[in-house]
Amino acid sequence: MDASLTDPAASARGAQLANDFTVSLDADRRMYREDIAGSIAHARMLARQGIIDQPAADSIVGGLRQIETEIATGEFTWKRELEDIHMNVESRLFELIGETAGRLHTGRSRNDQVATDSRLYTARASTAAVQAVRSLQRALLQQAAGHAATVMPGYTHLQRGQPALLAHHLLAYFEMFDRDAVRFAAARAAADVLPLGSGGMSGVPYQLDRESVAAELGFSRISANSMDAVSDRDYMLDFLYSSAACMMHMSRLAEELTIWSSDEFGFVRMSERFTSGSSIMPQKRNPDFAELVRGKTGRVYGSLTSLLTTMKGLPLTYNRDMQEDKPPLFDAADTVLACLDAAAGMVGSAAFAADRMRKAVDESAALATDYADYLVQKGVPFRRAHVVVTQLTRLAQQSGRQLGDLSPDELRQASEHFGQEAPRISVESSITARDLPGGTAPRRVRQALQDAYRRIWIAHTAGEW
């Protein structure tokens, strides 16, 4: 027989192991404010409904306030053997006010309690994420406004494609993060439902006033079905997906800052606050922050996958599996908020090298499309014009020239639609020609900047930053 079954020391170790396995305190203690706020609202309502008497409620509320202070100041003694935040608070309440503490849990279960706490937390994290996204957008907007006339080569397949304004490129990120802000706001709305009153799963046999508890805690709605309420974690998944999408956008931005700050590109110089030297190669300025933003994206995807997998196939209603929800939620919230701060700082302090970008456009065949469009204006079908300009580009490349260096004769040999003089095609004419909503023409980009300022201002009046 296994000695640990009989040896008392071994079985004490077994008990310790069992507790280590089931404990969630290490993660959920960070929801202590939410837990105590929920308990205070519940206790007050119990008294209003005559379910407990007022002196009992007063003493419960007083005790809970003291516990909140103890935790905030670090005086609280945490007991891992009590499993979670809920039991730690309740047990301390017994020490402080005695048997009356036992009245708090009337008409409540840890199942609707933990759902309430984590909804409050998710709502708060979503609000913080919206704010952080808005500051990143402001940093992008500021840089875009300063580069409304800076020309860069726009890329497809990481090959120089067509000239574009740097402001247009930066505003593309503004749009991505605008969608992220909308998603985080939607995650907050999803979390904005009060589960208390659902009890263990089927409701409770007391006339609770759920609406007043919701109002006191700042929820705008109460849950419609007690079984759903204790087993729903969709709001966390909404937050996690919003975080994953936002990280994906930030990792693209981080990747561009990384390659743009290389010697090969030289399009941007990152502030020393966001770079570090190499321990062996003295000349280096490594874009560590950008790399870490890119790298941390994987963690957040992992959190989303983790919770989706935890929830998959769970029978109604609450299952202990669901305790695994909080570590990925907290880790994703910490990560996305830290990355948003870093990204806003990096963008705000970056120095874009307009001269290098201009040189890169001038040295490229980025005007090829404009030559094709010139022929289209002369009546040539676009596909045909494309073939002609492909030939011309090859001719120019073979002789180490740009399209603009080809003589009118050479052009006319490729197509009789070219005139006596070479077409006047320049980086400026290329950009100015893209004059439609959403295009890179300076006029359109100035409008886009104004529109972006208007939208960020609306977000401000809505209290988002």
Just list the catalytic residues.
157, 278
Interaction between residue 84 and ligand ARG (CB under 6 A): yes
| CA distances to 46, 212, 214 from 49, in Å | 5, 11, 15
- Of 228, 236, 196, residue with least CA distance to 109: 196
Q: 146 or 200, CB closer to ligand ARG?
A: 200
Number of residues that bind ligand ARG (CB under 6 A): 9
317 binds ligand ARG (CB under 6 A): no
CA triple 182-184-188, angle to 5 deg: 115
- Tell me whether residue 34 or residue 178 sits nearer to ligand ARG (CB atom): 34
State which of residues 110, 147, 169, 233 lies at the interface with ligand ARG (CB under 6 A).
Answer: 110
CB of 93 to ligand ARG, least distance (A): 17
Interface segment toward ligand ARG; rule CB under 6 A; list 30-38, 296-304, 315-323, 433-441: 315-323
Question: Min. distance of Cβ 84 from ligand ARG in angstroms?
Answer: 4
CB of 76 to ligand ARG, least distance (A): 18
* Residue 24 makes contact with ligand ARG by CB under 6 A: yes
Instruction: Between 234 and 428, name the residue whose CB sits nearer to ligand ARG.
Output: 234
Residue number, 82 or 248, with CB nearest to ligand ARG: 82
Structure-token match 């439902």, residue found: 193
Q: Out of 111, 242, 258, 335, point to the residue binding ligand ARG (CB under 6 A).
A: 111
Q: How far is the CB of 331 from ligand ARG (least distance, A)?
A: 15
Q: Tell me which of 322, 361, 372, 449 binds ligand ARG, using CB under 6 A.
A: 322
Contact range with ligand ARG by CB under 6 A, out of 109-117, 142-150, 179-187, 240-248 = 109-117
**Of 24 and 258, which has the nearer Cβ to ligand ARG?**
24
Site string for ligand ARG, 32-61 (x = CB under 6 A): ------------------------------
Q: Which residues contact 410 (CB under 8 A, 6 or more apart)?
A: 392, 395
Of the two residues 201 and 245, which places its CB atom closer to ligand ARG in the complex?
201
Q: Least distance in Å: CB of 108 to ligand ARG? A: 12
- The mark string for 402-441 relative to ligand ARG (x by CB under 6 A, - otherwise) is ----------------------------------------
226 binds ligand ARG (CB under 6 A): no
Binding site for ligand ARG (CB under 6 A): 24, 28, 84, 110-111, 114, 320, 322-323
